[in-house]
Amino acid sequence: MDKFRMIFQFFQSNQESFMNGICGIMALASTQMYSAFDFNCPCLPQFNMAYGLGILLVPPFILFLLGFVLNNNISMLAEEWRRPQGQRGKDPAVLRYMFCSMAQRAMIAPAVWVSVTLLDGKCITCAFCTSVPVETLSNASYPLLSQEEIQRVLARIPCKEIYNGQELIANEVAIRYLRCISQALGWCFVLLMTTLAFLVRSLRPCFSQAAFLKSRYWSHYIDIERKLFDETCAEHARSFAKVCIQQFFESMSTDLVAAHCHLPRKASADAGEASKKLLGITDQGTMNMALKSWHRCKPPLHLHPPALPSGNGWAGEGQPPMHPSAPRRETAAYYSLV
């Protein structure tokens, strides 16, 4: 349990670790889904290829979209892309970094599905069973058949229980032939994905490390800023609701005052503390105006420096003035005893 707790805490440490954990879970889920999936090839010349390629390509596309849906940054990316210019400019490099980061994580589960499917070989066997080289693998003594009849016989290769072309081509031979091709494609796909990941991880710092660091920094900043804004709004809403509720009960306390029942002073003290957190925003229209202003013209990313002392200190906009020190004179006195 301690190990699982440590892993869970690592996933919750930051947004990037959390999304890596989600993508890992999705990758494991894709393998479990494929192992639990009941693959049934239709064994018809018109539908074999559509069914086999559909199982190979459609679930990865769904997993890719699901990876974007489960990523919390997709709404942040859309908001940052669609918001007005306002007082803060939009950096296309940051938007590209956010999209590429989400796309890379969303590609993990589809890549696992395609790899497992190709290594298993059922989809390729179903899709391309009618393309088996009959001239090479078939029995030469088998009576001649028309092309349609041969296609109909070959389409039943994935279905051993209804296959009736053992005299034309052995079922085990055709399946082994197609499975070898599928496994070769699967290992090539795994090698290609691993090579691309290695090149991206190793060569990217060699060319644009400074731009990568800036994009990554401001991407994290947008995420943290959004979280802090949500927390601040939630705290303001809590204080606003607390003051509204206390004012409501105070307005309804006339009957208690008439009955010589004194209200506790703690309520007024709590209301005063909650009022301080409202920061002057005490009505719905002002709050709506503040939210619209935050969306339309976010404050620029420039922190105003504090005022510098001007009395006995130094004053200026930049660095303190550096006065060159005067050269120190050294004098020597000689005394003689007469």
In the predicted model, is pLDDT for residue 303 greater than 90? no
Confidence tier at 314 by pLDDT (50, 70, 90): very low
Round to whole Å and give the CA distance between 218 and 67: 23
Is pLDDT at 259 greater than 90 in this prediction?
no
Label residue 272 by pLDDT band (50, 70, 90): low
Q: How confident is the model at residue 119 (pLDDT cuts 50, 70, 90)?
A: very high
Average pLDDT of the segment spanning 299-318: 60
> What integer is the mean pLDDT of 257-273?
58
Please compute the mean of the pLDDT values over residues 30-58 and round it to a whole number.
89
User: Highest-confidence range of 11-20, 32-41, 311-320, 329-338, by mean pLDDT?
Assistant: 32-41
21-25, 258-262, 282-286: segment of lowest average pLDDT? 258-262
Question: Which pLDDT score is estimated for 206?
Answer: 76
Q: How many residues does the chain have?
A: 338
Which position has the token pair 């309804």? Answer: 252
Q: What letters, b where the CB count within 10 A reaches 16 and e where it falls short, cover 114-146?
A: bbbbbbbbbbbbbbbbbebebeeebeeeeeeee
pLDDT value at position 34?
A: 84
Give the pLDDT band of residue 334 (cuts 50, 70, 90): very low
Cα-based distances in Å from 252 to 84, 240, 256, 268, 271? 45, 18, 8, 15, 16
For residues 157 and 44, give the distance between their C-alpha atoms in angstroms, rounded to a whole number: 10
| pLDDT tens sequence across 72-83 | 778 888 888 888
Residue 312 per-residue DSSP state: S
pLDDT at 271: 60
The model carries a pTM of 0.72
Count Cα atoms within 13 angstroms, Cβ side, for 91: 16
Per-residue pLDDT tens digits for 178-227:
999 999 999 999 999 999 988 887 877 777 778 888 888 998 898 889 88
For the chain, the average pLDDT equals: 79
What's residue 139's pLDDT? 66
Q: Where does residue 298 fall: left (phi above 0), alpha (psi -120 to 50 degrees), or beta otherwise? A: beta
pLDDT at 313: 44
Token pair in block for residue 291? 């939210």
| For residues 295-321, average pLDDT | 62
Q: pLDDT at residue 260 above 70?
A: no
Residue 126, pLDDT score:
93
pLDDT of residue 317: 43
Q: What is the mean pLDDT of residues 275-287?
A: 83
Mean pLDDT of 8-31: 68
Token couple for 223 = 């995420």
Query: Is the model's pLDDT at 322 over the cut of 60?
Result: no
Enter the tokens of residue 186: 């699967």
User: Does the pLDDT value for residue 305 go beyond 80?
Assistant: no
User: How many Cα atoms sit within 13 Å of 297 on the Cβ side?
Assistant: 5
Q: What is the pLDDT of residue 161?
A: 86
Backbone angles phi, psi at 218, to 5 degrees: -70, -25
Helix (H, G, I), strand (E, B) or coil at 149: helix
